[in-house]
A = this chain, B = another copy of it.
Amino acid sequence: GPTGDGYYGLSAAEFQTLGNKCLEARATAYCPYSLFRVGASLLLRTASPSGEPNHIITGANVENASYPVGTCAERVAMGSAVIQGYRLGSFKAIGVATDMDDFCSPCGMCRQFLREFLELETPIFMFNKQGQFKIRTMGELLPLSFGPDVLPPRE
């Protein structure tokens, strides 16, 4: 089996949980317009409030009759994490899963949303429906990116 190194620094248990949780999260999607379910999972560096290791926050896509108003799995998950107090430095890895045979990456809008809270080295695991995966880092998926450092927060 793959070693810790093969998982970009995740333990086998962490990797297993990350993958299972984004695959499961697909079932929580609301996607009557695209019928395209996506699940996302965020692995935190710290244990959950109740002390569980392999701490995961999930999301799924939530569509709207006005298509541009809907949102994606990755942003639902990260929005939820941010209001729980997690920020840059809190995340160890991201998982995304669809119902396709192919590996589906986060859309550009989600890459930008994630970029605000992830290090460039954070691994993003893209799972197909069989649970096979492809990995890219945040920096690889959004090269030359435009983050909080470029547009300085207000004084």
CB within 8 Å of B: which residues of A?
Answer: 25, 28-30, 32-36, 58-60, 62-72, 75-76, 78-80, 82-85, 87, 100, 102-113, 115-116, 126, 134, 136, 140-148, 150-151, 153-154
Q: Find A80's partner among B76, B85, B100 (CB 8 Å cutoff).
A: B76
Known: A28-B83, A85-B28, A136-B143. A148 touches B69 (CB 8 A): no
A68 B70 Cβ-Cβ under 8 A: yes
Residues of chain B with a CB closer than 8 A to A148's CB: 32, 65
Hey, which chain B residues are within 8 Å of A153, CB to CB?
A: 32-33
Give the docked Cα–Cα distance between A102 and B142 (Å): 17
